[in-house]
Amino acid sequence: MQPQSLGIELIVQTPQATDPAVVAADNILASLQDIEATSRLAARCNVITFENEFVDLKSLAHLAHQGTCFRPSLETPAHSLISTTSVVIYSR
C-alpha cells in the first residue's frame, strides 16, 4: 500500500538512490549519520521512525531536545530496532 493512499507524505533519508523506498517517497540522499540532513527532514515532518539500528543516537538526541518526535523513542534499546537500510520520515 502506498502511503499517499492513506494521506501520508513519506520522506526517506537514504544514502542510495537505488533504495526501493525512493520510488514511493520524496527523498534526501544522504548518509544515515548526516545529522544536518536529518535535521532538514525533521523540519518537514511530525514523526521520524527508523528501519535500522545504524543511527547515531547521541547526535539525534539534540533533535529530540528541540522537539523532534522519534518512534520508537531514542531511549528504546538499539537491539530492539529492526535491521534494514534507511530512515523513514512521515511528513505533516
pLDDT band for position 90 (50/70/90)? low
Q: Give residue-wise pLDDT tens across range 36-85.
A: 999 999 999 899 988 877 778 888 999 999 999 998 888 876 545 544 44
- Amino acid at the residue 86: S
Q: Give residue-wise pLDDT tens across range 26-42.
A: 999 999 889 999 999 99
Using CA atoms, how far residue 80 sits from 4, 53, 77, 89, 91, in Å, is 28, 8, 6, 19, 24
- C-beta of residue 44 within 8 angstroms of C-beta of residue 89: yes
- Amino acid at the residue 6: L
pLDDT of 17: 93
Question: Mean pLDDT throughout 6-10?
Answer: 83
Length of the chain: 92
Domains in the chain, start-ordered, CATH in brackets?
A: 3-91 (3.40.50.20)
